[in-house]
Amino acid sequence: MTDDDKTIKSVDHAGSSYKMRINDSDRERWQEMQSYTDELVSQGYQAIAGVDEAGRGPLAGPVVAAACILPPDREFPGLNDSKKMTLKRRETLYQNIIESAIAYSIIPVSAEIIDLINIRNATLQGMAAAVRNLKHEPDLVLTDAMALQGFTIPVQAIVKGDSKVNCIAAASVLAKVSRDRLMGEYDISFPNYGFAQHKGYGTKAHYQALEALGPCPIHRQSFLKTKLGEACNARAGELGEKCEREVAHHLAKQGFAIIGHRFKIHNVGEIDLVCLRDDMVYFVEVKARSDSSNYGGLAATITAEKIRHIRATAAIFLRDNKMSDKTAVLLAALVSLNNNQEVEHIKYLPIY
């Protein structure tokens, strides 16, 4: 160890003490990965947020997005792309980052939403939500490869950004550690799948567990369809859910965040989709029929009694999710189908 080597002491998530040794190569990498941010600061940017995700590829569990604004007067030597770091290094830097960051935000997007709008849209939704949930508004956003839409501030997508820019690497650590911890909790809720070990990825042991036990509620049915056949994705064949997925996918492309699917309160009502955009919550009732010549007739199937149930259910959703201060909008998504029961057109009408 050289004279300049040092150790950083920390306590990991399990409560064990750990000393992270920092050497010259760690410091050199920090400086190299900080150079692009320093250049942006020289251009006048001050609050630069890095954004990344973890968990796009697994068969189970959420995809987790994180955003982070690092302080300009603090270095985090040892930081790197989270996939290139040891577990203990990630845990140590995770703790250092959340204690010192100007702002950070971590957003999981569930397997259900992934199945509904696909993994790419779910990832974009999580990353956008992570930026919007930062307590300190950034004046520039840097992402790992994925371009975010709908922001008035500039957004730059940097290929392999988690190994090139420190604030993106920091976000990757927050996302990776948070997701790994979630999968450890799921391992307790759904034992015998081995989630604590493989984190939901498609290992041999995971496939063996699937063959023996079948999928559990956190498995991504859309991923299993291609891996284990149609039997694992029976729900996806239902026409109603197919139409809901098409509407959700369409709304996601328009910048809506899908935050609920088939939200149901016993003896009150059920709402097909719940979406968020521009601080407004949209409750969407999906209706479909083959003959789309008369949308008015289709809309008329949403009766006054049905609307009362939707309103009551929406009020409970807002209350339970601490969103009662937001404006609620009721929408009907009217879906026209062709003779092959494929979606041809979607029309949205307000429900009064």
Query: Do residue 269 and residue 139 come from a single domain?
Result: no
Query: Do residue 34 and residue 164 come from a single domain?
Result: yes
**pLDDT tens, 39-54?**
999 999 999 999 999 9
Tokens of 140: 């520039």
Can you tell me the distance from the alpha carbon of 338 to that of 298, in angstroms, rounded to the nearest whole number? Answer: 15
In the prediction, which pLDDT does 233 show?
46
Give the domain range for residue 164.
Answer: 6-184
Sign of CA dihedral 341, 342, 346, 352: positive
Query: Do residue 161 and residue 207 come from a single domain?
Result: no
Query: Do residue 230 and residue 155 come from a single domain?
Result: no
In the prediction, which pLDDT does 302 show?
85
Q: What is the mean pLDDT of the chain?
A: 90
What single DSSP character describes residue 222? H
Query: Do residue 225 and residue 272 come from a single domain?
Result: no
Crossing angle (nearest 10°) for helices 204-213 and 221-228: 90
Q: Mean pLDDT, to the nearest integer, of 180-200?
A: 97
In the prediction, which pLDDT does 296 show?
55
CATH number of the domain to which 326 belongs: 3.40.1350.10
Can you tell me the distance from the alpha carbon of 280 to that of 209, in angstroms, rounded to the nearest whole number? Answer: 42
Query: Do residue 149 and residue 268 come from a single domain?
Result: no
Query: Do residue 20 and residue 128 come from a single domain?
Result: yes
**pLDDT tens, 63-105?**
999 999 999 999 999 999 999 999 999 999 999 999 999 999 9
Stated as kind and residue range, the H or E segment containing 309 is helix 304-320
Query: Do residue 170 and residue 230 come from a single domain?
Result: no
Is residue 218 included in any domain, yes or no? Answer: yes
Query: Do residue 136 and residue 259 come from a single domain?
Result: no
Q: Give first-to-last CA distance, the chain, whole Å.
A: 72
Is residue 1 included in any domain, yes or no? Answer: no
CATH number of the domain to which 34 belongs: 3.30.420.10
User: Does residue 81 contact residue 89 with C-beta atoms inside 8 Å?
Assistant: no
Structurally, the chain folds into a number of domains equal to 3
Domain boundary among 147, 165, 184: 184
Q: Mean pLDDT, to the nearest integer, of 105-122?
A: 96
Query: Do residue 198 and residue 261 come from a single domain?
Result: no
